[in-house]
A and B are shown apart, each in its own frame.
Chain A
């Protein structure tokens, strides 16, 4: 199916573990984004990517790593998870007309 999909939808992990959240889009959009959504903070940009092998930091990049070896995939890795990274993570891609299309989110709990 066309669209943007995220996996896993739900993840529980422990402090210090590595976690990777996957994002896949079928539109071949150049730009992709990772946001986190937290009560009281709204949506904040973690990282974005302009194309394969081109990534850049957003507002809150500390503790996160991204890669983009293929246009359609944009995984987000928490190298050593902390409780403050408990959040809902949204991946998005941008159409040429400017709007973003979002995945359904990955809810991460760090114990």
Chain B
């Protein structure tokens, strides 16, 4: 079946540290891949996406590359800020699967300390 596995949290970093959150997926077909961010008490916001192999999505200093050979979509940021503290969700979508629903990983909580 289709699924997403993320590294477990919480992840605690100091400000300006390098961030990696691992995400691997299993899918039939050719999924699109997404990272969403959820701040406390809010809904999920799209952070970045990639729609085909070797695509790199980027936004607000975050990056992730769609690696078909390793079925991965790891999220990276070179220098995190306190304001990046949130829960991050990796997700895949298959346009012909249940309306293009997104299948989410469990989420990784990131806490950045000053």
Q: Contact residue range for chain B?
A: 20 to 34
Would you call B49 and A58 a contact (CB within 8 A)? no
A48 to B100, CA, bound (A): 10
Would you call A104 and B46 a contact (CB within 8 A)? no
A104 to B106, CA, bound (A): 19
Q: How many residues of A contact B (CB 8 A)?
A: 22
In the complex, which residues of chain B have a beta carbon less than 8 angstroms from the beta carbon of A31? 99-100
Would you call A42 and B107 a contact (CB within 8 A)? yes
In the complex, which residues of chain A have a beta carbon less than 8 angstroms from the beta carbon of B102? 100
A27 to chain B, nearest CB (A): 14
In the complex, which residues of chain A have a beta carbon less than 8 angstroms from the beta carbon of B106? 40, 42
Would you call A101 and B46 a contact (CB within 8 A)? yes
- Given A42-B107, A43-B89, CB of A58 within 8 Å of CB of B101: yes
Give the A-B pair count, Cβ closer than 8 A: 54
Cβ of B28 under 8 Å from chain A: no
A40 to chain B, nearest CB (A): 8
- Given A42-B107, A43-B89, CB of A56 within 8 Å of CB of B42: no
Closest to B105 in A: A42
Q: Tell which of B36, B42, B99, B107 has the most Cβ of chain A within 10 Å.
A: B99
Q: List residues of B (6-35) whose CB comes within 8 Å of A's CBs.
A: 32, 34
Closest to A54 in B: B99
Interface string of B78-109 (1 = CB under 8 A from A): 00000000000100010100111110111100
Closest to B4 in A: A42
Would you call A99 and B46 a contact (CB within 8 A)? yes
A46 to B43, CA, bound (A): 17
In the complex, which residues of chain B have a beta carbon less than 8 angstroms from the beta carbon of A43? 44, 89, 104
- Given A43-B104, A98-B32, CB of A56 within 8 Å of CB of B99: yes
Binding site for A on B (CB under 8 A): 32, 34, 36, 41-46, 49, 51, 89, 93, 95, 98-102, 104-107
Binding site for B on A (CB under 8 A): 31, 33, 40, 42-43, 45, 48-50, 56, 58, 90, 92, 94, 98-105
